[in-house]
Amino acid sequence: MRALLFGLIVASTSGSGAQAPDADAMVREAIVEALRSRMGTEAEVAIERLRLPDGWPHGAVQARPDPGARLGRPMRFALGATPDRTGAAVAWTGVAEANVHVQVPHLHTRRAVPRGATITEADVALVRHAVDGALRAWPSADAIGRSRALRDVGPDTCLVPASLAMAPLVRAGQEVQATARVGVIVAEARLVAADRGDIGWVIRVVNPRSRRTLKARVVGAGMVEVIHD
């Protein structure tokens, strides 16, 4: 059933005899990647009624959700061709519209949890189903033991992001292990976080030697991956 429901997810082709993907497939792939960068790599994304700009060319493309985009209603994505050289900025020259459904693993309460209580394994179960709302990571297994309820929560209830106060995986001022990828080259460095953040959050990090500020995505406790615009 899941395979049928999410059969619209675009899979890349391989092999010397495979045809080049068309514009529709490339945009679908870019939208999936953009949403997983916000909601976690385990998100399952289904795209319906995709509408592309007239004459949108084939080729590598990137997608960026509108700032106010929310699941549960039609969404707009800025489109831009992937730069042909490292470090070049993306030129956002098109807009796509689509209905998008996303399933993510997240926590359901097994029993009532009072306000202020720390979430334990006995309180919650990990489930997966479609979610609505803002494009952000939902409380998952990594929230157990390091988060507390901000309000009374009944049994068999989704723990939405706003229902928990969670100790961040990265704190402002903390030294973090940073990874940067340029093509096939991977570099590592110790940087300082300028913001707090959790899995999937994009924060600012500072090189303590050059004082240069960069953007990075939180990928673990005290770990980030530098990203390029």
Q: What is the pLDDT of residues 85-116, one digit of tens each?
A: 766 788 898 999 999 999 999 999 999 999 99
- Short-list 34, 86, 101, CA closest to 63: 34
Residue 149 and residue 152: Cα distance in Å, rounded? 7
Q: Do 87 and 110 lie in a common domain?
A: no
Place of tokens 């092999």: 15
Q: What is the pLDDT of residues 181-192, one digit of tens each?
A: 877 788 899 999
The answer on pLDDT for 151 being more than 90 is yes
Element (H, E) at 216: strand 213-220
CA torsion through residues 218, 219, 224, 228, sign: negative
Q: What is the pLDDT of residues 201-216, one digit of tens each?
A: 899 999 999 999 999 9
Which one of 166, 195, 218 terminates a domain? 166
Residue 139 lies in domain: 105-166
Q: Do 98 and 115 lie in a common domain?
A: no
Band (15; pLDDT cuts 50, 70, 90): very low
Q: What are phi and psi of 23, to 5 degrees?
A: -60, -40
Place of tokens 């994009």: 202
Band (224; pLDDT cuts 50, 70, 90): very high
Band (17; pLDDT cuts 50, 70, 90): very low
Q: What is the pLDDT of residues 159-170, one digit of tens each?
A: 998 999 988 889
Place of tokens 């990265």: 170
pLDDT score, position 65: 96
Most confident of 20-24, 51-55, 191-195: 191-195
193: domain CATH number?
2.30.30.760
Q: Do 38 and 83 lie in a common domain?
A: yes
Ranges 11-20, 46-55, 70-79, 121-130: which has the least confidence: 11-20
Ranges 9-23, 104-118, 144-158, 207-221: which has the least confidence: 9-23
pLDDT score, position 29: 94
132: domain CATH number?
3.90.1210
pLDDT score, position 119: 96
